[in-house]
Structure 1
Amino acid sequence: METELLGRTGRIEVRNVGGIDETSVEFEPGITVLTGRNATNRTSLLRSIMAVMGSDDASLKADADEGQVEFTVGDERYRRTFTRTNGSVTIGGEPFLDDPEFADLFAFLLESNEARRSVARGDDLRELIMRPVDTEAIRSEIRELEREKSRIDDDLDSLADLKGDLPELERKRSRLEDDIETKRAALEDKEAEIEALDADIDKTRAEKQELESRLDDLREKRSELERVRSDIDLQQDSIESLTAEQREIETDLEELPDEPMGEHAELDQEIERLRERIGTLEREVSDLQDVIQFNEDQLQETGVVTEHLDDEDGAVTDALVDETVVCWTCGTSVETDRITTTLDQLREIRQEKLETIRTLESELSQLKEERETYREQQQRKETLERTLDDIEVEIEDRETQLETLREQRDQLNGDIEDLEAEIETLETEDFDDILGLHKEANQLEFELGRLESDLEDVTERISSIEDQLTEEEQLRSQRDEINTELRELRTQIDRIEENAVTEFNDHMETVLDILGYENLERIWIERVERTVREGRRNVEKTMFELHIVRSTDSGATFEDTIDHLSESEREVTGLVFALAGYLVHEVYETVPFMLLDSLEAIDSERIATLVEYVADYAEFLVVALLPEDAQALDDNHTQVTEI
């Protein structure tokens, strides 16, 4: 969502957050300068803004059980609450952002900002730059398209097999049509012969009614016999088809694991273990954040003002520049640098735990996919087993029906033999010919019926195949589209990374040019492939390496590393990188606030230039500055001196 706050005044109300008891500050669109010395709760106010925007990088006041931050702009109100229960702080409310990750990385640029610290430590920057990009969604889409392509390939293979059946089916249909014509002609001839003989014996037919009745019975029995034989053939074909399907299912079952649910159960245990591990790490990260925040707030509260005083004996000045504080945990005097170093170590531990969480979440996602595969196998196994049971029941039923039909056939054969024997005793020489003709006609009718039934089956099969083949072109078109999408998706991550690196480099060059450092010619990122060790194997991994080009007084340039830069130069480099991320990912489109703190490594004029440049993007740019640095900014900007 876009900020939709253009031109409107915002108001922040804070109670019991960080080092603040209670305060209320209005922010006009544009630049707001929080000016003052240390221990004036500037950082606590910045973290309060972060909290109501959605960040968890804020803490409840140490001596309070409840706290809150409210941000009001126009008719909209956003709220974040802090509640301490049994020593644990719960954060609730309805913040401005649903997901503060972009803001935490590239908009809230306090001293502890992860992007600034990662550059200062010389970490691989790829994870930071690409974190806002949902590459897992792209990979998931690739997997889904590959499954769809595989399904289409299977369908096309089936159609190819069907297409191969068509020529033989066409030939079979042609043969059946010829055979039917031949049988019909033969039947017509027989019926003509029967009609001629019937005319000859018409005079004596009344005397031979009993023989005619037996002949009718014989025709009925023969017709019924042929029907039973046809039913027997159908049942045998069905049993053969079911038996073939039974073998296929048994083969499919053999390819599946014997007990998918057993492996599934083990996966459930591993997934639950990973969830518990992630939960433990998240609680540890939360505890670490509370410790870090508390110590940062305490450092702010116990900060020392180091001004040059015109004191003859220097005693007052010496007291002011004493760089030790009383440790609030053990009560002993320690150097401020030692606490700062410990805080850096805690931040590194927190970052390591966050990286571990991300790794475990990736493993958890893979295990869930594996579990889903086992579930699908289990469902497939159960479906096949049910189908197999149904087939076995149907085969048994059809075999029972087949046995019954065979008994009927045997009974009918016996009846026909009896009738034929009876007819032989009744018939006279005059009826010998007509009896033979009736038998032949009956046989021709039966054969014709079978041929016509076979023709219907073949025609229906050909029609079905032709209908299915009409889908072939559509399937091929779908497969081509999927192949195109897959090619694009498989290169999309590379393109995204390349574009991100290019944009980062362009923006870093712009920001660095604005700052105008004479000995820092260029800061740029290179996308490289490195062979790294992961577990027991070596893998190719994409990394983003930071390069720094410096110049000498004589104008010569050389490449340097972050390790060789001074502390102030590292801070500047980290800030330049974070600002580039803010511009590349267009964080200003969704986050109304940009926060800047701990800019002491940059001189006043450059701070002023940088603030004016960033102000063109941020709706509310809030900068915490020392009074001497604030003087370099335009007097028209809003200044907050008391919090």
Structure 2
Amino acid sequence: MSSEQVSHQQTRVKVRNIGGIDETTVTLPPGVSVLAGRNASNRTSFLQALMGGLGSTQTTLKGDAEEGSVTLELGGETYTRTLKRSGDTVVFGGDPYLEDPEIADSFAFLLEDNEARRAVARGDDLREIIMRPIDTDQIEAEIEACEQERDELESKIQELDRLEQELPQLEAEKKETKEELETARDKLETKQAELDAVDTGVEESRSRKQDLEDAFDRVRDARSELDDLEFDLETERSTIEQLEAERDELEASLEELEEVTESTDRLEGRISELRERKRSLDDTINELGSVINFNQEMLNGEGIDLETDTDPTDALLENDETVCWTCGSEVETTQIEDTLQRLRDLRSDKLDERNRIRSEIDELSEQKESIRERKSERQQTERRLETVESDIESSRERVAELEQRIEDQEQRVSELEAEAESIELEDHDEVLELHREINGIELRIDRLESELDEINEEIADKESAIEQRDELTAEREAVTEQLTELRTRVNRIEQDAIENFNEHMETVLDILEYDNLDRIWIEQRETEVREGRKKVMRSRFDLHIVRSTADGTVYEDTIDHLSESEREVTGLVFALAGYLVHDVAEKVPFIILDSLEAIDSDRISHVVDYLSEHADFLVAALLPEDAAALSEEYTYIENID
């Protein structure tokens, strides 16, 4: 729920077994609530409980309790935080207001150990604190994904641009083909008219004329089939060329790939022997460790159970001899120490041997994997070469078959043409020539119509694809904007943080009126740092402090010379900058304050007033004398229990 929804509703906090609190219920109205009281009055415990209900794990379970809880009624909803002791740890559960409290812990829950406050006091790198909630790795991953998407869109758009550039050529080919088709059709119509004009005058001639036309129809069909066979032959020959080129590449690759004669059996056997030796060493090393530890404890007196008030260690130190716990005889302690040292040396030698064996196992495993990969690569190449050679042979057989069929079809075309020519008819030569011309024109028209259909289909496909360009261009622009936003997000957050800090720091200093403290501001600068083996440029926030003397001399000071009050105020303003730049108010409507004793009462009043302008709820724990300086309009809570 956003703070806008809860800003006018009070918050009810029920606490049980948290910090020093047994059980209490406190109602917090919107605005400023002041927990006024002396130290050890459970004010901080209540603040921690409130933080727990909001999602923080910076909450402690009461020392004598096994479990505790916080119930938070806020904005018409109920949130819970449970704490349960489990051995030496405390397990958190429930359903708190925030799923992830990190950003609130950093910039809204401003207790004494708050990281933002302490970073200023210690002079730490303030940029690291501000940027901590930002997952820069995730941003880099998003940038990479956006770049890939943008490049893919750019590639598609360029392809569409190329298609558009091809359209004029296709349109020209379409126009030329249509013109050729019209010319062929006109020529066909002319020849058919000439054929019709040849009138034999007798019924028998008309019958023979029809026979001639039928014969030439058979010639045309046979020629069409011959064209198809010739096309298949050309395709098959092209396939053979491609396969032969691939075969040459594969044969060259095989020449480069050495034939692997090594066997992995020997390596596997050696690796097994080494692993067995390593297991034996592991057992020996563990046993030596146990023996060394036991004897060291006995030598230190930790394992000796004597019915005496004398410290066993002191007894050993006072006497140079002791009873050996293994053989029962009296020996000098130095002998035992020498034996222990020899055991340690032996264990060290075993450790070195185990490390050598590990290295040898890794090396042999790499050799085995290399042999396996080289064998696999050669086998795959050989199998592919066999497949290619088989395909070449099949294609050659297909070529031979097509060549034979073409030869047979050419013979059939010749026979059909001879059959047509044998039909006797008046004006025989003229009619025969006209039929030959018409037959050729009809075949040409069929080819031109097929070409025109293919061109029209190609134009339609390209135009359909090009219609998507505007949509792809819009997508590319959106991705480019997102990419720009991602690339500038980190820098923008840095700039916003600096501007917020500098602006609010200037205002707060004017309000608090510190003597001779003129200005505190953050400057961003680039610095070279080492990451792994390379050096990279990284941004850093430098805190500058300007003071002036009574005679008006202005000079720059350091954080070390700030008073405790000045450091605390600077830390609070820095936390406020983080609160604003990360929009924390949209996630949690609270600012929680504690440990302000280093600041004088009047300035505490001004600080609380200023911070309260930025949160729906501000809860502060103050000493009674500090609380007295605040506005009477605020809510004061003096009894937590």
Same structural fold, with TM-score higher than 0.5 when normalized by the shorter chain: yes
Matched residue, 1:204: 204
Matched residue, 2:543: 546
Matched residue, 2:131: 130
Aligned residue type for 2:178: E
Matched residue, 1:225: 223
Compare 68-77 and 412-421 and name the one that shifted more: 412-421
Match of 1:511 among 508, 511, 527: 508
- CA distance, structure 2, for counterparts of residue 616 and residue 484 of structure 1: 34
Contact 1:129 1:581 in 2 (8 A): yes
Aligned residue type for 1:593: F
Please state if 1:628 is matched with 2:625.
Answer: yes
Q: What does 1:468-617 align with in structure 2 at a 5 Å threshold?
A: 468-472=465-469, 475=472, 479=476, 483=480, 486-487=483-484, 490-583=487-580, 585-617=582-614
Match of 2:637 among 621, 636, 639: 639
Helix, strand or coil for the counterpart of 2:515? Answer: coil
Matched residue, 1:156: 157
Structure whose alpha-carbon radius of gyration is higher: 2
Contact 2:218 2:416 in 1 (8 A): no
Flag structure 1 segments of 5+ consecutive residues without an equivalent.
252-387
Q: 1:116 to 1:245 in 2, by over 3 A?
A: farther
Matched residue, 2:214: 216
Aligned residue type for 2:150: K
- CA distance, structure 2, for counterparts of residue 114 and residue 246 of structure 1: 71
Deviations for 1:54-76, whole angstroms, at most 9, x for unmatched residues? 11111223333221111224743
Aligned residue type for 1:64: A
Matched residue, 1:461: 458
Aligned residue type for 2:443: F
Please state if 1:121 is matched with 2:151.
Answer: no
- CA distance, structure 1, for counterparts of residue 243 and residue 479 of structure 2: 32
- CA positional deviation for 1:444: 1.8
Contact 1:504 1:584 in 2 (8 A): no
Compare 83-92 and 162-171 and name the one that shifted more: 162-171
Contact 2:496 2:581 in 1 (8 A): no
Please state if 1:54 is matched with 2:55.
Answer: yes
Matched residue, 2:191: 190
- CA distance, structure 2, for counterparts of residue 239 and residue 112 of structure 1: 82
Contact 2:15 2:21 in 1 (8 A): yes
Q: What does 1:208-607 align with in structure 2 at a 5 Å threshold?
A: 213=211, 216-227=214-225, 229-230=227-228, 233=231, 409-422=406-419, 427=424, 431-472=428-469, 475=472, 479=476, 483=480, 486-487=483-484, 490-583=487-580, 585-607=582-604
Matched residue, 1:619: 616
Deviations for 1:354-404, whole angstroms, at most 9, x for unmatched residues? xxxxxxxxxxxxxxxxxxxxxxxxxxxxxxxxxx9xxx9999999999888
Aligned residue type for 1:225: R
- CA distance, structure 2, for counterparts of residue 547 and residue 396 of structure 1: 83
Q: 1:564 to 1:639 in 2, by over 3 A?
A: same
- CA distance, structure 2, for counterparts of residue 135 and residue 5 of structure 1: 32
Q: 1:242 to 1:6 in 2, by over 3 A?
A: farther
Matched residue, 2:317: none
Deviations for 1:505-552, whole angstroms, at most 9, x for unmatched residues? 111222233222113222211111112222222211111111122233
Deviations for 1:134-183, whole angstroms, at most 9, x for unmatched residues? 66666555444433432232223323433443444344334333433443
Aligned residue type for 1:521: D
- CA distance, structure 2, for counterparts of residue 242 and residue 18 of structure 1: 85
Contact 2:200 2:426 in 1 (8 A): no
Aligned residue type for 1:14: V
- CA positional deviation for 1:425: 5.8
Deviations for 1:96-123, whole angstroms, at most 9, x for unmatched residues? 2233233211221111101011111111
Contact 2:547 2:554 in 1 (8 A): yes
Aligned residue type for 1:111: E
Flag structure 2 segments of 5+ consecutive residues without an equivalent.
250-383
Contact 1:221 1:412 in 2 (8 A): no
- CA distance, structure 1, for counterparts of residue 560 and residue 67 of structure 2: 43
Helix, strand or coil for the counterpart of 2:98? Answer: coil
Q: 1:201 to 1:241 in 2, by over 3 A?
A: farther
Q: 1:456 to 1:511 in 2, by over 3 A?
A: same
Percent identity at matched positions? 46
Contact 2:236 2:398 in 1 (8 A): no
Matched residue, 1:68: 69
After superposition, the CA RMSD in angstroms is 4.1
Contact 1:32 1:640 in 2 (8 A): no
Aligned residue type for 2:53: V
Q: 1:464 to 1:245 in 2, by over 3 A?
A: farther
Matched residue, 2:361: none
Aligned residue type for 1:640: E
Aligned residue type for 1:501: I
- CA distance, structure 1, for counterparts of residue 226 and residue 542 of structure 2: 84
TM-score norm. by structure 1 comes to: 0.67
- CA distance, structure 2, for counterparts of residue 246 and residue 466 of structure 1: 38
- CA positional deviation for 1:44: 1.6
Contact 2:222 2:413 in 1 (8 A): no
- CA distance, structure 1, for counterparts of residue 167 and residue 492 of structure 2: 47
Q: 1:213 to 1:69 in 2, by over 3 A?
A: same
Matched residue, 1:18: 19
- CA positional deviation for 1:235: 8.4
- CA distance, structure 1, for counterparts of residue 245 and residue 479 of structure 2: 34
- CA distance, structure 2, for counterparts of residue 139 and residue 16 of structure 1: 44
- CA distance, structure 2, for counterparts of residue 103 and residue 243 of structure 1: 70
Aligned residue type for 2:205: R
Q: 1:394 to 1:119 in 2, by over 3 A?
A: farther
Q: 1:245 to 1:461 in 2, by over 3 A?
A: farther
- CA positional deviation for 1:53: 0.5
- CA distance, structure 1, for counterparts of residue 225 and residue 584 of structure 2: 81
Q: 1:472 to 1:549 in 2, by over 3 A?
A: same
Q: 1:58 to 1:436 in 2, by over 3 A?
A: same
Q: 1:49 to 1:403 in 2, by over 3 A?
A: farther
Contact 2:18 2:45 in 1 (8 A): yes
Q: What does 1:84-123 align with in structure 2 at a 5 Å threshold?
A: 84-123=85-124
TM-score norm. by structure 2 comes to: 0.67
